Amino acid sequence: MDKKFFRTNSNKAGESPGGRLRAALQAEQPLQVIGVINAYAAILAEKTGFRALYLSGSGVASASYGLPDLGVTTLNDVLADVKRITATTPLPLLVDADTAWGDPAKTVRQMIKAGAAGIHIEDQVEAKRCGHRPNKQLISTSEMVERIKSAISGKTDPAFVLMARTDAVAGEGLEGGIERAIAYRDAGADMIFAEALTNLDQYRTFVNAVKIPVLANITEFGKTPLFTLEELRSAGVGLALYPLSAFRAMNAAALQVFRSIRENGTQKEVLPIMQSRAELYEFLNYQVYEQRLDEMFKKQKS
């Protein structure tokens, strides 16, 4: 049966995903952007009250393909997850587009077609690394400017958000990272992803220098402390990103369940940490779907 039969969410008429992301940024300061690894996680996030979602390249690599985040997944790999998520929720989705896979214009066109609200592209080489790992290799500022200009040329929706990520602070210092960010802004980037900053003064300096929204990556177990929203707000940060928080928790819970069943021969001991069948059905609007099926069967019999 066509999956459209079961869709209950619809996008607001006349408003593009990029427009919704920009509106969310105006409504919430800093805008909390929560990472989701699949369509069901997106539903949970929407029901919890988040205004914007994020799809991590690391999440796609590890969750969908069982691979490390080292530039091995492709544009099509990421698009597959983008389409599943955007078909499920009207919340705007910001997507990690790594280095744009050699064709930034194509990447932007395909992301818009898949329903994404925006992407970020980074200034690392094609064989990129996690932003919180050592030995990152960067392209030149001029090369990144060309990446950005190429991405802009692919826009079919003017509201689509192009965010430029810089990993330069770790190797070139704060001043070097800011110089790059300003060049990226001048090339047309709408927002800046300042990766792996280590204190609020660095964010404050970044924000004051670039004068466009700056995203703080509040990822666990990395170089950036787990600043609160109030702390980030005091530094003028525009977006607070939590890329893999739920995914890490899911993994820990799954491992606990696997070990318990293997060791005890039953899942009884881990039932308290499970989502119940009733809760699952509630989030999926299961009864609404069943009613549609019942109505369809009645029509077929009449």
Q: Is 65 tagged catalytic?
A: no
Query: Residue ranges per domain, the chain?
Result: 15-244, 252-301
Of the residues 130, 204, 231, 289, only one is catalytic, namely 130
Q: Is 285 tagged catalytic?
A: no
Q: Give the residue ranges of DSSP H helices in 35-194.
A: 39-48, 57-59, 65, 75-86, 104-114, 141-153, 169-187
Of the residues 54, 184, 203, 242, only one is catalytic, namely 54
Residue 213 has pLDDT above 60, yes or no: yes
* Residue 218 annotated as part of some ligand binding site: yes
Q: Is 123 tagged catalytic?
A: no
Residue 131 has pLDDT above 70, yes or no: no
Q: Is 146 tagged catalytic?
A: no
The per-residue pLDDT for range 180-193, each reduced to its tens digit, is 999 999 999 999 99
Q: Is 294 tagged catalytic?
A: no
Nearest to 244 by CA among 219, 224, 215, 226: 219
Question: What's the CA gap between 82 and 80, in Å, rounded?
Answer: 6
> Packing angle between helix 104-114 and helix 75-86, nearest 10 degrees?
20
Q: For the chain, give the percent of residues with pLDDT over 70.
A: 92
* Residue 171 annotated as part of some ligand binding site: no
Q: Is 76 tagged catalytic?
A: no
Of the residues 46, 69, 167, 190, only one is catalytic, namely 69
Q: For the chain, give the percent of residues with pLDDT over 90.
A: 82
Structure-block tokens of residue 244: 């893999």
Q: Is 292 tagged catalytic?
A: no
State pTM to two decimals. Answer: 0.92
Contact 129, 135 (CB under 8 A): yes
Residue 10 has pLDDT above 60, yes or no: no
Nearest to 32 by CA among 191, 199, 237, 275: 237
Length of the chain: 302
Residue 295: its pLDDT value, please?
A: 79
Give the domain 15-244 fold: TIM Barrel (3.20.20)
